[in-house]
Structure 1
Amino acid sequence: MTTIPGKRPINRFTKIYQGSFGQFKTSDSFPTQFLLTSLTVNNFDDLTTASEVMDLEDYQFDELIQRDIDPERVRDIANRYLAKGKDRPIFFPPLIVCVALMEAGEATRIKPQYDSVASEKVEEDGQEYLVSLFDTDGFRVRLPVADAAHSDRSVPWGEGGNQTPHRYYAYAGELALNPARAKLVVLDGQHRLEALRLLTKSQEGREIVAPVELPVCIVWPPGAQVGRSENITVDFRELFITINSEPRKVSGHFLILLDDKRHSAMAVRELADAWKGESQGWRRLHLLEWNTRDDERTARRTRGFSITTISVVSEVLKAYLFEPTGLASKLLELRSVEDEFALADPNFNPDGVSDQRRGPAVSQVMRERLRSTVVPALTILLRGLPPYAQQEARLGQAFARLKEQRENRNLAFTSLSNHLDRFTYEYDGDANGPVQGAYADFRAWAKVPSEQDVFFLSIFQQGLLRMWLRVGALRNVSAIEAARITTDALGAFVADTGPGRTVYLSPDLPYCQRTLWRREKVNIGSDWARLAWSDVLIATMVRKDVRDAAVAELDGEKRIAVAQDLETMGITSARRYAARLWEETLRETRNNLGEHFGEEEAGRLRELRKQDLQAFEAVITTASKDRFKVALQMFSNMLQRREDELYEPA
């Protein structure tokens, strides 16, 4: 006869860590609890990096903590520091690791809040313990209770508002995890962890790190419960930014992605989410560069097949959408949701909105407005302009060819496809040699043709976005309408890439030299140069064919009124550009005497400048007029206007 065993509860807390417990809290902050402990080489796999546990497919950019591993940095730590430690001390500061509870049935989605936190005092074998259970079976914290004679450390413990201070033995804290529900995700130090893991892949490397006791600080927010304002992923992102601000700052595009204080950062995260969500055959997020870590490369394209970067977009939004009072309110149509703002914050003034974010409730309303106005407008601008639409088609064809190679069981292209599915664009040396070759082919398939390079310059794109904002400032024109007007106008002339097109922005053209270009290098050295790029684009509105294309989708009286406003705007920009062209012609003549007068005459002019500055300037002005006249004549011909309409001498 079979004997039924007695009831025995299942112990789900099978991962146990012991160490020193503490709590970090100021008078006003949310509390953060932590356990200081250490791990040996056999426990390194208990830790996971954000890139392993967070599938980008399941996350919005606003939830991003830290994803990408820099392989070069990992190899540097492993080979130049750990492996070269003979006869000298080496040490890692503690890794900061968060306890992440995963959503039920979701291996890659962190819960934003605990469903429950049960804290009580229990007795086991004559010893009292403070015990907290997070989500019943997620993870458990246990502290042995002490008295005043043996410990001066205390922590509030109990349910909700009934917490009272209890003394405890700090050195004997215990954290127990249910590995089916809780993961230890590295918040700071993932490159140190990956360096240790890299060495364990070889026998020699494993011997090097075998004695290592890796210091680890495990943190969790005890108060992030359902019904409260605290959010776990927001907490971890905030900690990541704070921890990494010094001595090694968050770098590159991640400064924007992790910025919770600016609407411009929120806007580009929403844009990235929108493009990530378009996946017919391939993710449109590949068109947007968002994960460059090098600060110096964030404002320019580095991949050859992308269209733009989040830095280009966020800088324009920050400086030209949110800084001028009233423009953001108009384009985001904030007055249409006044009631929602009143509920979120009665003191919030939609007309005075700036780049600085307000509280969570106001931010949520702003997020929805950005999604419905700015994001679709940016999508029209950055994917609707003919060169950008053509690049999207080229990249789609490249992904189709990649799929064919994968279906033919080409292993290099299969590996490349897996990398690109994770938005990984840099590959480790010899280990990924075949992938690098496949990637070179892929980039060649999707490369922007050289004759379209100008449209992919960051300064052109800044001019494009500023033009959109100038059009959007017109009466009765929405953000989305302004985007269509801008792309249709530029597509009719400036960005017309069809046969027989006129190259309006060529560095060879006299009116582009010294303003847009300096000896075939783009002129990006000053604020006026950036204004010149937007002015030269807006100036095309003086052409009737451009205006007709711009307002073609508008109806009736609105079409007539907007066309008139566009012409006025075009004249203003054309005149400002022509005036700047004259100033730069004078400056260039003055600074390059030998080139324009010959060395002998240049020497005489240098002496004249010392003796009679007024006479010197008269010579420079006379010499500059002929060159300026040629440039102005070509500019006016391009715009189909008389020269005196575009420039009046002072």
Structure 2
Amino acid sequence: MSKMFGVQKTPIYGSFGEFTIGGGSGTIRAKYILTKIKPGNDGSWECELASQMKPWREVFNVEELSFDELLQRDLDDSRVAHDLIPYLLGTAGIRAKFFPPILSVIVPRKQSGAGIEPFYPKPDFPEDLIENYGELFDFEQIKWAEPTPLATLRYNRQRSAFIIVDGQHRAMAVLALHRQLNESWGNNAFASYYDHISVTPEQVKSIELPTCIIYFPDLHEGNPISQKLGIDLSSVCREIFLVVNRSAKRVSESRELLLDDEDIAARLMRRTLSTLKDRGEEQAGLARIYSISYGDSDTEIGQREVTSGHLEYSSAIALHKIHRAISFGVEEAFKIDYYSDISDGRRTQNRNRPAEILLGTGVQHNSVLSRNSGKLLPPHEVDEVVEKLGALADVALLSLFDKFRPFSTHNSELRNLRMRLSDVHARAEVEQKKAYTLIFEGSGVRNVFDSHFERLKEEKDELNREGQPVPDHIENQIEFCNSVNSALDKHERRFQRDRACKFFSINIDLFDDDNNHDEQK
């Protein structure tokens, strides 16, 4: 009777299996349940799971995420709406309507703020074949006369999150159909990409998406092994993400660095980026990163930006090279009377320099320190190495971003733009709200928006060539995109004007007076 009034957990049914990650003393177990989600409104557990499954960007506030938690590829909503959904609905001329399984990890949400907890609650085992992870979830292997390969996972909808580590676009195609059918987008900033999709229960009744949900029994609170190894849910998710995506599609160099735990210089780069990103409003006059671009798309690979909208701060690759040079540069590079090209990677493998810098610290017993020792040293030593070396490098780097006049001017005007777009009146206008999203939220969203706009125009041109009428939803979306682009252009031109006037100490009032054409020139 007590369970009836306690925490209610929603069931998932499927077959289960187990594998391991790592090797030797660093091995941890991974269990999974192979199940499914489906779009619909019939109240089934598969539809309920579709309602709970969300892409990473919707689980957490992107401005509060650390770089260690930015695991997922950016979602290309234009590709999902124009390619994947027509494939599922059979309107693309292909009869098969099947996707391979997506891969997700069930994790505990933080009880306050963004992010996930590093470990599951400590489990108990009330009965044979049953694992109870507190109020988060339960796992039960189904037993009839004897144990079967079937299992049930019951999850707390309020405390659990499902991080998709592979197949995010496939998942979004099914989730978009589910939301269109149930009109459950709410005020989602990306709903406009799917406004043109009309779907009925009959169209989706045979659509199901295989889903593999993983959890890690050893990564729970109070387990000394996982803590000794420095392994937590975030690091394991990063490891799985890199492994499954490295062979599936090229992962950009900047993203690999953001997820690389072996390279000390990569950890130092993440420390600098996290410092820039995590600055609060009380530090608004200083440099801050609002959104990033990883260079994962075909058009971006090779660019490797860390940007704010289209207003670029710096390259993640450049920051990585700077940290390599400062902490692992050859001795000749630091002599005033001798020039050495420190940009050459062969000149940033000096194992003696970091050891000398760290003399007098808790890690001074390391006579040499390899750049690729991030997984070889004990976790607490790695943390101290990164903290000490990073603090030294950031004295110069953060001062550059904060005080060098071109950057400080950029910081000030970027904050002014953000304040204007955060005004309640601006946020009430759909176009202005979208402009804010494209400049200050997420990563790569501007490229997705531009791609979506181009696809819409191509569809309209093709219909015109064939002499067919253009549907209202295409005309409406093109009109909306034009209005958003107009707003973006206006904001960016004003930003560039105000930034230039402030940098060169020009009286900005001259540009607001139509009678001052000569002085404006």
TM-score (norm 2): 0.70
Q: Name 2:487's counterpart in structure 1.
A: 438
Q: Secondary structure at the match of 1:41?
A: coil
Q: Secondary structure at the match of 1:118?
A: coil
1:223 Cα shift? 0.5
Alignment of 1:318-357 (within 5 A): 318=324, 321-322=327-328, 323-325=348-350, 328-329=353-354, 333-337=357-361, 340-341=362-363, 348-349=366-367, 351-357=368-374
Q: Distance in 2 between matches of 1:174 and 1:372?
A: 48
Letter in 2 for 1:437: S
Q: Distance in 1 between matches of 2:325 and 2:82?
A: 38
Alignment RMSD: 3.4
Q: Distance in 2 between matches of 1:241 and 1:220?
A: 17
1:225 Cα shift? 1.7
1:195 Cα shift? 1.8
Q: Name 1:74's counterpart in structure 2.
A: 80
**Structure 2 residue 148 is matched with structure 1 residue 169:** yes
Q: Name 1:187's counterpart in structure 2.
A: 165
Letter in 2 for 1:296: G
Q: Distance in 2 between matches of 1:270 and 1:183?
A: 26
Change beyond 3 A, Cα 1:211–1:247 = same
Q: Secondary structure at the match of 1:296?
A: coil
Q: Which consecutive unaligned segments of at least 5 residues does structure 2 have?
A: 41-46, 181-196, 329-347, 454-476, 507-521
Q: Distance in 2 between matches of 1:137 and 1:287?
A: 34
Instruction: Give me the identity figure in percent.
Output: 19
Change beyond 3 A, Cα 1:274–1:408 = closer
Q: Name 2:288's counterpart in structure 1.
A: 285
Q: Secondary structure at the match of 1:106?
A: coil
Q: Name 1:64's counterpart in structure 2.
A: 70
Q: Which has the higher contact order (CA 8 A, sep 6+)?
A: 2
Q: Secondary structure at the match of 2:252?
A: coil
Change beyond 3 A, Cα 1:392–1:82 = same
Please say if residues 294 and 306 of structure 2, whose CA atoms lie closer than 8 Å, have aligned partners that are also in contact: no
Please say if residues 391 and 448 of structure 1, whose CA atoms lie closer than 8 Å, have aligned partners that are also in contact: no
Q: Name 2:414's counterpart in structure 1.
A: 395
Q: Distance in 2 between matches of 1:39 and 1:253?
A: 33
Please say if residues 23 and 34 of structure 1, whose CA atoms lie closer than 8 Å, have aligned partners that are also in contact: yes
Q: Distance in 1 between matches of 2:135 and 2:499?
A: 59
Change beyond 3 A, Cα 1:141–1:90 = same
Please say if residues 413 and 499 of structure 2, whose CA atoms lie closer than 8 Å, have aligned partners that are also in contact: no
Q: How many residues align?
A: 414
Q: Distance in 2 between matches of 1:498 and 1:90?
A: 61
Q: Name 2:11's counterpart in structure 1.
A: 16
Q: Secondary structure at the match of 1:89?
A: coil
**Structure 2 residue 101 is matched with structure 1 residue 94:** yes
**Structure 2 residue 265 is matched with structure 1 residue 264:** yes
1:34 Cα shift? 0.2
Q: Distance in 1 between matches of 2:36 and 2:52?
A: 12
Letter in 2 for 1:373: L
Q: Name 2:405's counterpart in structure 1.
A: 386
Please say if residues 288 and 308 of structure 1, whose CA atoms lie closer than 8 Å, have aligned partners that are also in contact: no
Alignment of 1:224-235 (within 5 A): 224-227=219-222, 228=224, 229=227, 230-235=231-236
Change beyond 3 A, Cα 1:35–1:210 = same
Letter in 2 for 1:68: D
Please say if residues 106 and 162 of structure 2, whose CA atoms lie closer than 8 Å, have aligned partners that are also in contact: yes
Q: Distance in 2 between matches of 1:404 and 1:46?
A: 32
Q: Distance in 2 between matches of 1:321 and 1:447?
A: 36
Q: Secondary structure at the match of 2:360?
A: helix
Letter in 2 for 1:132: E
Change beyond 3 A, Cα 1:252–1:69 = farther
Alignment of 1:424-503 (within 5 A): 424=443, 425-426=445-446, 427=449, 428-429=452-453, 430=477, 432-447=481-496
1:300 Cα shift? 8.5
1:41 Cα shift? 1.1
Please say if residues 421 and 436 of structure 2, whose CA atoms lie closer than 8 Å, have aligned partners that are also in contact: yes
Please say if residues 53 and 107 of structure 1, whose CA atoms lie closer than 8 Å, have aligned partners that are also in contact: no
1:438 Cα shift? 2.1
Alignment of 1:194-593 (within 5 A): 194-200=172-178, 201=180, 202-204=197-199, 207-227=202-222, 228=224, 229=227, 230-251=231-252, 253-280=254-281, 284-286=287-289, 289-293=292-296, 294-298=300-304, 303-318=309-324, 321-322=327-328, 323-325=348-350, 328-329=353-354, 333-337=357-361, 340-341=362-363, 348-349=366-367, 351-357=368-374, 358-359=376-377, 360-403=379-422, 406=425, 409-418=428-437, 420-424=439-443, 425-426=445-446, 427=449, 428-429=452-453, 430=477, 432-447=481-496
Q: Secondary structure at the match of 1:295?
A: coil
Of 413-422 and 35-44, the range deviating more from structure 2: 413-422
Please say if residues 352 and 369 of structure 2, whose CA atoms lie closer than 8 Å, have aligned partners that are also in contact: no
Letter in 2 for 1:396: R
1:444 Cα shift? 1.9
Of 174-183 and 78-87, the range deviating more from structure 2: 78-87
Change beyond 3 A, Cα 1:275–1:448 = farther
Q: Distance in 2 between matches of 1:195 and 1:373?
A: 46
Letter in 1 for 2:495: A
Q: Name 1:133's counterpart in structure 2.
A: 132
1:367 Cα shift? 2.4
Q: Distance in 1 between matches of 2:55 and 2:306?
A: 28
Q: Distance in 2 between matches of 1:145 and 1:36?
A: 17
Query: CA deviation digits over 1:295-333, x for unaligned, max 9?
Result: 222159795422212122113433674324267527x93
Out of 30, 33, 52, which is 2:31 matched to?
A: 33
Change beyond 3 A, Cα 1:299–1:65 = closer
Q: Secondary structure at the match of 2:312?
A: coil
1:91 Cα shift? 2.2
Change beyond 3 A, Cα 1:432–1:282 = farther
Change beyond 3 A, Cα 1:329–1:17 = same
Letter in 1 for 2:435: L
Q: Name 2:345's counterpart in structure 1.
A: none
Q: Distance in 2 between matches of 1:78 and 1:184?
A: 21
Q: Distance in 2 between matches of 1:85 and 1:408?
A: 37
Change beyond 3 A, Cα 1:7–1:277 = closer
Q: Secondary structure at the match of 2:152?
A: strand
Please say if residues 282 and 399 of structure 1, whose CA atoms lie closer than 8 Å, have aligned partners that are also in contact: no
Q: Secondary structure at the match of 1:307?
A: strand
Q: Secondary structure at the match of 1:204?
A: coil
Q: Distance in 1 between matches of 2:427 and 2:207?
A: 45
The structure having more radius of gyration, on CA atoms, is 1
1:354 Cα shift? 1.9
Letter in 2 for 1:395: L
Query: CA deviation digits over 1:25-63, x for unaligned, max 9?
Result: 266321000001112213221211111112234432123
Q: Secondary structure at the match of 1:34?
A: strand
Q: Secondary structure at the match of 2:492?
A: helix
Q: Secondary structure at the match of 1:75?
A: helix
Please say if residues 295 and 305 of structure 2, whose CA atoms lie closer than 8 Å, have aligned partners that are also in contact: no
Q: Distance in 2 between matches of 1:48 and 1:312?
A: 33
Please say if residues 75 and 169 of structure 2, whose CA atoms lie closer than 8 Å, have aligned partners that are also in contact: yes
Q: Name 1:158's counterpart in structure 2.
A: none
Q: Name 1:619's counterpart in structure 2.
A: none
Q: Which consecutive unaligned segments of at least 5 residues does structure 1 have?
A: 1-5, 123-128, 151-167, 453-495, 500-650
Q: Secondary structure at the match of 1:187?
A: strand
Please say if residues 102 and 111 of structure 1, whose CA atoms lie closer than 8 Å, have aligned partners that are also in contact: yes
Letter in 2 for 1:191: H
TM-score (norm 1): 0.57
1:213 Cα shift? 1.5
Query: CA deviation digits over 1:160-195, x for unaligned, max 9?
Result: xxxxxxxx311x211111212222222211111112
Letter in 2 for 1:393: S
Query: CA deviation digits over 1:433-454, x for unaligned, max 9?
Result: 53333222222233399999xx
